[in-house]
C-alpha cells in the first residue's frame, strides 16, 4: 500500500470525543505550536546565585528599570514585598507602627533560641518582625546589630512573650530579662489561601488569634495580593484592600537596605488607605485607585466600584481643584471592580460583569469613561493581559474574551476542560479563582492563564492561547506569577510549593508555615534546573483517532514514517488502537517506539478500527518539533 499522510490542525480540541477528531490533537503537556506544528516548550532555570527562595506564594510581579539602567523585579508575596536585583533578593516590605512598650530578652548560652518579653504585644505565630532600635544588647550577644540588622519569624506566642531564632548562638553568659529594644512588625498582606472567613487558620485582618476556630461563615477572604506598577523609576505597590506604598529606585540602593528595618524608601502621603488595587496610566501619568475610599483615610468608606485618580504627574494629590486634574467617579455595572490594565492609549477596566474604557481627554473632564461590554466580567485581579494591541481576559462567567476596539468572545476548543470538572476534567476551582494569573509570552505569541484546578487551593494548571496560530493548549505548568521578556531577555516566573521551607537570608528562623516561591528564568535550555538538580520536562502530545472508511473497516498498519522538524536526543512514538470508541485504548505491543534523528521508518503490526498517536520525551536534554505522520495502512476486514 502507498503511504498516507495524516494532517493535523494546530492546537488542542477537547470539546468532543477523540473518535470524532481525526486530524486534531486532543491532549498534551508542556507543548506549544509554531507554524502549525507541535513542539516541546523551553526549559527553566532557578534564579539567584545562592538559589534562594521567598516566603509565601508570589501574587504579583513587575520588572522595571531605574534611570541609570539598573534592572529590578518587584515580587509581592502573601508575606512581603521583595526585590530581585543583580542575582539576589532584597527585602523592602513596609512595616507597621512600632509596638508599644520595650522588649527584653531571655537568652541561653549556646542556643540561638531567644525569648522576647513584650507586654500585650498582640502578635501571632508566623508574623515577621524587626527590632527598630536596641539601646541595650541582650546578654550573650556582642553586638546589637545581630538583632537590628535582621528580620525574624515569631513563634511560640503567649500573651506577653514570643520566641525568635537569632542568626548566631548566645555565648557566656546568657541571661533573663536583659537587653532593651523596640519592635516593628511587617505589614499584613493577607491569607496564604483564598478561604472562608472565620474558619480554621483564617488570618483575620489585624487579628492575633491565628488558629482559632470559627465554624460558620459565608464570608470569603481573598488571598493576600498586591498590585505593582511603576511611575518612572518609582515602584508603586498596593496591598489588595489595603495601603499604597512607593519605593524610589533613584534614591535607594537595594544593597544598602537592611531586612525591612527602615521605611525611608516608602511614601504613603495623602494616598487612600484602602484600595482594591492601583494602576499608573502610562500616557498621562495619573495614579488610579480602584475600589477605594470615598473619604481618604477612612477605610470604612471603601466602595468596591469607586475610582479615584491623582493629579497628573503627582502621586500624592487627590483632592480635586480647578488647578489640578485629580478626580473621582463611580462605575455602575457590577458589584466590584476586579481588574484593570493599561492598553495602547486607554485604561481597560473590568468589573465582575462589565468592561469599561477610560481614556484621557484633558481638561476640564480629564477622562472619558465608556462602558464597552456586559456579561464579560473578569475572574481575578491578575487575569487580564494586554499584548499585540488587544486585551485578553478570563471571565468569571465562563469563557475567554478580548478587546481590540470591540469586546469579543474568544472561541475556545478547551473551554469545557478549563471551566468544568465533570468526568475528571481538571477544571478551575472557583473557590480559589482569585489566584488566577495571566501574562503574555511575546517570544512565542502566547497568552497564559495559570489557575488552580478543582480541589487545589493554589495554581497548578495553565491554559494558553496562541494569538498568531489562533489555537489553544493546556498544561500542568504551575506559575503563580509570570513576567514577559522586556526588561530581561526571557520571561521570569514564580512557582509555589506549599510544604517547603524558604531558603533565605532575609528572615531568621523562617519556617514552612507559608510555603516557598521559587524564581525561574524561562525559555532557557530544555530542562528544569534548580537547587535539586536537573529534571527532565516530560512533554507529550496525543492525537484524536483516525480510521478507514469512517470506521466501517478495520485497518492494518505495517509501518509508519516519523518526521521531525528538529529532534535533539530521543523521542518516543506510541500507537493506541481500539475496536470501538467505548473501548479502553491500549498501546500497540510494538510501542512505544524510540525515535532518533536517524530513524527513517518503523515497522509495526498494529490492527484496529481506530488508531491514535502519541509523541513524547522522558529524558533530560531532549527537545523536538514534530512535523508530519505518514503510515502504510490498508483495510483489513470488518472484525
User: Tens digit of pLDDT for each residue in 113-136?
Assistant: 999 999 999 999 999 999 989 999
The pTM score is 0.93
Element (H, E) at 61: strand 58-65
Does residue 494 sit in the same domain as residue 388?
yes
Using CA atoms of 418, 422, 424, 430 in order, give the dihedral in degrees to the nearest 10.
50
**Which three three-digit cell numbers place residue 95?**
512595616
CA atoms of 200 and 209, how far apart (whole Å): 11
Neighbour count for residue 513 (Cβ, 10 Å) = 17
**Which three three-digit cell numbers place residue 20?**
470524532
Own/partner pairs, 498-505, CB within 8 angstroms, 24+ separation: 498/457, 498/458, 500/53, 502/52, 502/53, 502/54, 502/55, 503/50, 503/51, 503/52, 503/53, 503/531, 504/52, 504/53, 504/54, 504/55, 504/89, 505/50, 505/52, 505/259
What's the pLDDT at 206?
Answer: 42
Q: Are 590 and 606 in contact (CB under 8 A)?
A: yes
CATH of the domain at 172: 2.40.30.20
- Classify residue 49 as left (phi > 0), alpha (psi -120 to 50) or beta: alpha
CA atoms of 624 and 458, how far apart (whole Å): 30
- What residues does 181 pair with on adjacent strands? 103, 134
Does residue 14 sit in the same domain as residue 53?
no
**Which three three-digit cell numbers place residue 620?**
533530560
CA atoms of 219 and 212, how far apart (whole Å): 16
DSSP 507-570: EET--STT-EEEEEEES-SSEEEETTEEEE---EEEE--B-BGGGTB-EEEEEEEEEEEEEES-
Q: Are 242 and 230 in contact (CB under 8 A)?
A: no
CA atoms of 429 and 421, how far apart (whole Å): 9
Of 185, 200, 215, which residue is a domain's last? Answer: 185
Neighbour count for residue 119 (Cβ, 10 Å) = 12
**Which three three-digit cell numbers place residue 525?**
535550555
In a domain, 201, yes or no: no
**How many Cα atoms sit within 13 Å of 134 on the Cβ side?**
22
Residue 369, SS3 per DSSP: strand
What's the pLDDT at 104?
Answer: 97
In a domain, 191, yes or no: no
Structure-model confidence comparison of residues 555 and 54, the more confident one? 54
Helices (H), 431-532: none
Q: pLDDT tens across 373-410, in order?
A: 999 999 999 999 999 999 999 999 889 999 999 999 99
In a domain, 511, yes or no: yes
**Which three three-digit cell numbers place residue 350?**
473590568
Query: What residues contact residue 35 under an 8 Å CB cut-off, 6+ apart?
Result: none
Which residue is listed with cell 525568635? 164
Given a cut of 50, whether residue 208 has pLDDT beyond it is no
Given a cut of 90, whether residue 7 has pLDDT beyond it is no
Does residue 112 sit in the same domain as residue 56?
no
CA atoms of 540 and 482, how far apart (whole Å): 23
Element (H, E) at 342: strand 337-342
Is the bond into 592 cis (omega within 30 degrees of 0)?
Answer: yes
Q: pLDDT tens across 475-524, in order?
A: 999 999 999 999 999 999 999 999 999 999 999 999 999 999 999 999 99
Task: Read off the pLDDT band of 202 (50, 70, 90).
Answer: very low
In a domain, 531, yes or no: no
CA atoms of 35 and 12, how far apart (whole Å): 15
Number of domains the chain contains: 3
CATH of the domain at 302: 2.130.10.10
Lowest mean pLDDT among 87-101, 239-253, 314-328, 489-503: 239-253
Q: Which domain holds residue 176?
A: 103-185
Does residue 301 sit in the same domain as residue 351?
yes
Given a cut of 60, whether residue 200 has pLDDT beyond it is no
Of 494, 524, 554, which residue is a domain's last? Answer: 524
Using CA atoms of 220, 414, 451, 625 in order, give the dihedral in degrees to the nearest 10.
180
Residue 191, SS3 per DSSP: coil
CA atoms of 210 and 232, how far apart (whole Å): 39
Task: Read off the pLDDT band of 258 (50, 70, 90).
Answer: very low
Does residue 333 sit in the same domain as residue 231?
yes
Does residue 607 sit in the same domain as residue 557?
yes
What's the pLDDT at 20?
Answer: 81
Lowest mean pLDDT among 16-30, 98-112, 226-240, 283-297: 16-30
What's the pLDDT at 211?
Answer: 44
Query: What is the mean predicted confidence (pLDDT) over 28-47?
Result: 97
Query: What is the mean predicted confidence (pLDDT) over 559-566?
Result: 91
Cβ burial of 580 (10 Å; 0-12, 13-18, 19+) is exposed
CA atoms of 150 and 67, how far apart (whole Å): 30
Query: What is the mean predicted confidence (pLDDT) over 528-541?
Result: 97
Task: Read off the pLDDT band of 98 (50, 70, 90).
Answer: very high
Q: Are 350 and 339 in contact (CB under 8 A)?
A: yes
Q: Are 61 and 155 in contact (CB under 8 A)?
A: no
Given a cut of 50, whether residue 204 has pLDDT beyond it is no
What's the pLDDT at 250?
Answer: 83
Lowest mean pLDDT among 190-204, 412-426, 568-582: 190-204
What's the pLDDT at 209?
Answer: 44
What's the pLDDT at 410?
Answer: 97
Q: pLDDT tens across 591-624, in order?
A: 899 999 999 999 888 888 888 899 999 999 999 9
Does residue 38 sit in the same domain as residue 84?
no
Q: Are 633 and 561 in contact (CB under 8 A)?
A: no
Task: Read off the pLDDT band of 577 (50, 70, 90).
Answer: confident
Task: Read off the pLDDT band of 587 (50, 70, 90).
Answer: low
Identify which of 169, 175, 211, 204 has the alpha carbon closest to the alpha carbon of residue 190. 204
In a domain, 192, yes or no: no
Does residue 90 sit in the same domain as residue 146?
no
Q: Are 399 and 419 in contact (CB under 8 A)?
A: yes
Does residue 377 sit in the same domain as residue 472?
yes
CATH of the domain at 542: 2.60.120
Helices (H), 262-421: 415-419
Own/partner pairs, 92-95, CB within 8 angstroms, 24+ separation: 92/247, 92/254, 92/257, 92/260, 92/265, 92/266, 93/128, 93/186, 93/187, 93/260, 94/186, 94/187, 94/243, 94/245, 94/263, 94/266, 95/130, 95/132, 95/184, 95/185, 95/186, 95/187, 95/260, 95/263
Q: pLDDT tens across 46-86, in order?
A: 999 889 999 999 999 999 999 999 999 999 999 999 999 99
Element (H, E) at 146: helix 145-148
What pairing do the DSSP bridges indicate for beta strands 593-595 and 571-578? antiparallel
Of 468, 496, 524, which residue is a domain's last? Answer: 524
Does residue 313 sit in the same domain as residue 394?
yes
Structure-model confidence comparison of residues 213 and 361, the more confident one? 361
In a domain, 142, yes or no: yes
What phi, psi does 127 have (nearest 5°)? Answer: -70, 150
Neighbour count for residue 565 (Cβ, 10 Å) = 14
Does residue 557 sit in the same domain as residue 502?
no
The mean pLDDT of the chain is 90
Given a cut of 70, whether residue 563 has pLDDT beyond it is yes
In a domain, 199, yes or no: no
Q: pLDDT tens across 625-634, in order?
A: 999 888 887 7
Which residue is listed with cell 555565648? 171
In a domain, 219, yes or no: no
Q: Are 154 and 127 in contact (CB under 8 A)?
A: yes
Q: pLDDT tens across 281-290, in order?
A: 999 999 999 9
Does residue 258 sit in the same domain as residue 378?
yes
CA atoms of 162 and 124, how far apart (whole Å): 9
Q: How far is CA 221 from the centre of its chain?
A: 18
Given a cut of 70, whether residue 266 has pLDDT beyond it is no
Amino acid at each position: 500500500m502507498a503511504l498516507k499522510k495524516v494532517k493535523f490542525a494546530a492546537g488542542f480540541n477537547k470539546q468532543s470525543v477523540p473518535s470524532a477528531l481525526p486530524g486534531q490533537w486532543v491532549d498534551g503537556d508542556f507543548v506549544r505550536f509554531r507554524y502549525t506544528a507541535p513542539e516541546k516548550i523551553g526549559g527553566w532555570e532557578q534564579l539567584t546565585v545562592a538559589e534562594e527562595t521567598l516566603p509565601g506564594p508570589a501574587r504579583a510581579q513587575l520588572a522595571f528599570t531605574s534611570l541609570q539602567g539598573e534592572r529590578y523585579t518587584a515580587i509581592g508575596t502573601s508575606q512581603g514585598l521583595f526585590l530581585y536585583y543583580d542575582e539576589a533578593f532584597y527585602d523592602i516590605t513596609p512595616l507597621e507602627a512600632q509596638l508599644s512598650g520595650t522588649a527584653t530578652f531571655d537568652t541561653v548560652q549556646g542556643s540561638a533560641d531567644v525569648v522576647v518579653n513584650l507586654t500585650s504585644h498582640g502578635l501571632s505565630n508566623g508574623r515577621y518582625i524587626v527590632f527598630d532600635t536596641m539601646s541595650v544588647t541582650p546578654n550573650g550577644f556582642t553586638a546589637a546589630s545581630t538583632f537590628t540588622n535582621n528580620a525574624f519569624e515569631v513563634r511560640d506566642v503567649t500573651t506577653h512573650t514570643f520566641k525568635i531564632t537569632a542568626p548566631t548562638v548566645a555565648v557566656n553568659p546568657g541571661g533573663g530579662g536583659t537587653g532593651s529594644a523596640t519592635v516593628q512588625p511587617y505589614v499584613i498582606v493577607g491569607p496564604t489561601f483564598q478561604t472562608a472567613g472565620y474558619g480554621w487558620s483564617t488570618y483575620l485582618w489585624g487579628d492575633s488569634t491565628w488558629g482559632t476556630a470559627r465554624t460558620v461563615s459565608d464570608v470569603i477572604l481573598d488571598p493576600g495580593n498586591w498590585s505593582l506598577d511603576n511611575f518612572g523609576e518609582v515602584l508603586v505597590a498596593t496591598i489588595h484592600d489595603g495601603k499604597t506604598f512607593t519605593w524610589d529606585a533613584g534614591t535607594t540602593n537595594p544593597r544598602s537596605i537592611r531586612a525591612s528595618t527602615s521605611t525611608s524608601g516608602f511614601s504613603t502621603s495623602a494616598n487612600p488607605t484602602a484600595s482594591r488595587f492601583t494602576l499608573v496610566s502610562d500616557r498621562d501619568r495619573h495614579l488610579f485607585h480602584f475600589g477605594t475610599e470615598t473619604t481618604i483615610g477612612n477605610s470604612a468608606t471603601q466602595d468596591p466600584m469607586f475610582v479615584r485618580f491623582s493629579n497628573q504627574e503627582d502621586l500624592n494629590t487627590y483632592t480635586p481643584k480647578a488647578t489640578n486634574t485629580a478626580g473621582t467617579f463611580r462605575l455602575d455595572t457590577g458589584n466590584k471592580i476586579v481588574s484593570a490594565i493599561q492598553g495602547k492609549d486607554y485604561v481597560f477596566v473590568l468589573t465582575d460583569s462589565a468592561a469599561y474604557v477610560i481614556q484621557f481627554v484633558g481638561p476640564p473632564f480629564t477622562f472619558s469613561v465608556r462602558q464597552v461590554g456586559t456579561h464579560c466580567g473578569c475572574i481575578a485581579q491578575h487575569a487580564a493581559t494586554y499584548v499585540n494591541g488587544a486585551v485578553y481576559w478570563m471571565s468569571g462567567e465562563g469563557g475567554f474574551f478580548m478587546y481590540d476596539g470591540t469586546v469579543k468572545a474568544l472561541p475556545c476548543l478547551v473551554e469545557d476542560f478549563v471551566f468544568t470538572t465533570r468526568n475528571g476534567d481538571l477544571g478551575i476551582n472557583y473557590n480559589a479563582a482569585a489566584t488566577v494569573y495571566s501574562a503574555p509570552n511575546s517570544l512565542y505569541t502566547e497568552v497564559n492563564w495559570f489557575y488552580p484546578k478543582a480541589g487545589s487551593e493554589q495554581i497548578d494548571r495553565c491554559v494558553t492561547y496562541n494569538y498568531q496560530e489562533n489555537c489553544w493548549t493546556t498544561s500542568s505548568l504551575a506559575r503563580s506569577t509570570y513576567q514577559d521578556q522586556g526588561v530581561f531577555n526571557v520571561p521570569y516566573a514564580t512557582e509555589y510549593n506549599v510544604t517547603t521551607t524558604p531558603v533565605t537570608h532575609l528572615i531568621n528562623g523562617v519556617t514552612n508555615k507559608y510555603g516557598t516561591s521559587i524564581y525561574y528564568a524561562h525559555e532557557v535550555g530544555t530542562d528544569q534546573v534548580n537547587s535539586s538538580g536537573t529534571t527532565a520536562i516530560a512533554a507529550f502530545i496525543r492525537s484524536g483517532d483516525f480510521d478507514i472508511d469512517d470506521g466501517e473497516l478495520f485497518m492494518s498498519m505495517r509501518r509508519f514514517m516519523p518526521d521531525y522538524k528538529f529532534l535533539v536526543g530521543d523521542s518516543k512514538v506510541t500507537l493506541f488502537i481500539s475496536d470501538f470508541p467505548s473501548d479502553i485504548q491500549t498501546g500497540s505491543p510494538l510501542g512505544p517506539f524510540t525515535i532518533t534523528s536517524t530513524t527513517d521508518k518503523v515497522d509495526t503490526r498494529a490492527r484496529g478500527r481506530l488508531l491514535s498517536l502519541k509523541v513524547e520525551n522522558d529524558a533530560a536534554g531532549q527537545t523536538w518539533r514534530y512535523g508530519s505522520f505518514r503510515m502504510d495502512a490498508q483495510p483489513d476486514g470488518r472484525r
